[in-house]
Amino acid sequence: MNIKSQTSSEIVIPFDAAKLDRLMDAAGIDILVATSKHNVQYLLGGYKFIFFAAMDAIGHSRYLPVLVYEKGKPENAAYVANRMEGGEHANRPFWTPTFLPATWGSKDAAEVAVDHLRKLAKPGARIGIEPSFLPTDAHEVMAQLGNSTKLVDATGVFERLRAVKSRQELDLLRTASELITDSMLAAIQWAHEGSTKHQIIDRLRREETERGVQFEYCLLTLGASHNRAGSDQAWKKGEVLSIDSGGNYHGYIGDLCRMGVLGEPDAELQDLLAEVDAIQQKSFAKIRAGALGGELVEAGEAARKASPIAAYTDFFAHGMGVITHEVPFLMTDHPVKYDGVDAEQPLEAGMVLSVETTMLHPSRGFIKLEDTVAVTESGYEMFGERARGWNRGGA
């Protein structure tokens, strides 16, 4: 089934197609095949099919959205969708001129995509795929394209395409961060002596959901423990709370960490959080368009090593946006396994960073600040910057 949503002259592409064409040309890729939900969502301008928002599995297979894009020829783009997505298209037509709502699983999605690819691919064409997001049965189907075509890894092309955020994307990331901050503050203020970690996490889930954020996770510590998993551990008077949460707002991630205390923070706690913040501030001071990505890491690391809390403190910075770790990649295998290939590359205005300093204090517990920062021409803009001090529980 092939539904034409619009003619070629009416196509409105929701991403920077010229940039994508340049990236494909540099990578020697003729046609892209997106199969990850996050990249399909990005290429479709923010759309995600609600039926499979939480889980991909159905019957013996899984949902596999596929978007095909030929370099320089958006009129040949196609979206291979689940059969139920015809209703979504009727309400808000997808930009791709070819819409194919004909699948239920990964193998038949690949078969439909290959049928379309055979109309486009010239002999020897290089087809860019997402290896980490292409099931084995779908890969086997695509590998039978023939005509001397070759499947190549296009992960880097997608990453670079998403690296610099548009004004609309920055607004979504700002809103996500603000709503996560509001939700964490509300959960801290709600929590009281005797509240368990499970109860506080459930409260945060409710606060985020009521604000229109899709709750994804909460990493929570109480007291001297460094264990961030949910449990029946209860909050006690005088103890600290570390709340680190990620939520999704219209496809963009909010990911921050803030601190709470049940009672009034003593002088030691005030000093410890001030040391964490000082490391953060040294790193922030190096953020601006044109500065090398590694400069902010070097500044943060230098401040950490010079701090009295160095022995039990870690500094980390990474890019974020549609997913929690994306361009710029600033550190190698720390802690997520990838190469810090952007440490020697200049930051660009519109890139978004997560900067985090984590202290595992031997007696006072887990003390951390994680902030979301957008790179600007002259410096940076922080999203969700409130409540970076000690927030009182049971307020």
- The pLDDT value given to residue 260: 98
Q: In the prediction, which pLDDT does 10 show?
A: 76
Nearest to 129 by CA among 241, 39, 225, 19: 39
Query: Do 136 and 151 belong together in one domain?
Result: yes
The CA distance from 228 to 198, in Å, is: 11
Q: Which of 129, 161, 193 is the last residue of a domain?
A: 161
* Whether 309 and 326 share a structural domain: yes
> Could you tell me if 247 and 374 lie in one domain?
yes
> Does residue 74 sit in the same domain as residue 122?
yes
Q: Which of 107, 132, 161 is where one domain is finished?
A: 161
Residues 6+ apart with CB under 8 A from 331: 297, 316, 317, 318, 340, 343
Same domain, 150 and 8: yes
Nearest to 151 by CA among 282, 44, 29: 29
| Residue 148 and residue 184 in one domain | no
**Do the Cβ atoms of 20 and 156 come closer than 8 Å?**
no
Q: Where in the sequence is the domain holding 18, given as residue range(s)?
A: 3-161
pLDDT reported for residue 9 = 57
Within this chain, do residues 132 and 280 fall inside the same structural domain, yes or no? no
Q: Could you tell me if residue 157 is left (phi over 0), alpha (psi between -120 and 50 degrees) or otherwise beta?
A: alpha
- Same-domain status, 251 and 124: no
- The CATH number of the domain holding residue 285 is 3.90.230.10
pLDDT of residue 315: 98
| pLDDT attached to residue 3 | 44
At 28, give phi and psi (nearest 5°).
70, 35
Angle at 113 between CA 87 and CA 105, to 5 degrees: 65
Q: What is the DSSP string of 303-326?
A: HHHHSTTGGGEEEEEEE-SSSSSB
Burial environment of residue 90 by CB neighbours within 10 A (0 to 12, 13 to 18, 19 or more): exposed
Q: Are residues 15 and 155 in the same domain?
A: yes
pLDDT tens string, the chain, 395 residues long: the values are: 444 444 555 789 999 999 999 999 999 999 999 999 999 999 999 999 999 998 999 999 999 999 999 999 999 999 999 999 999 999 999 999 999 999 999 999 999 999 999 999 999 999 999 999 999 999 999 999 999 999 999 999 999 999 999 999 999 999 999 999 999 999 999 999 999 999 999 999 999 999 999 999 999 999 999 999 999 999 999 999 999 999 999 999 999 999 999 999 999 999 999 999 999 999 999 999 999 999 999 999 999 999 999 999 999 999 999 999 999 999 999 999 999 999 999 999 999 999 999 999 999 999 999 999 999 999 999 999 999 999 999 97
Q: Are residues 28 and 98 in the same domain?
A: yes
- CA angle 105–108–113, rounded 5-degree value: 120
Closest CA to 117 of 94, 95, 147: 147
- Alpha carbon distance 352, 345 (integer Å): 15
Show which of 118, 146, 161 is a domain's final residue. Answer: 161
13 and 157 part of one domain: yes
The DSSP symbol for 165 reads P
For residues 198 and 250, membership in a common domain is answered with yes
pLDDT for 4 equals: 47
Supply the CATH number for residue 78's domain.
3.40.350.10
Q: Which residues does 266 contact at the CB level (< 8 Å), separation at least 6? A: none
pLDDT at 249: 96
Give the list of residues 6+ apart from residue 329 with CB closer than 8 angstroms, or none.
318, 319, 338, 339, 340, 341, 342, 343
| Number of folded domains that form the chain | 2
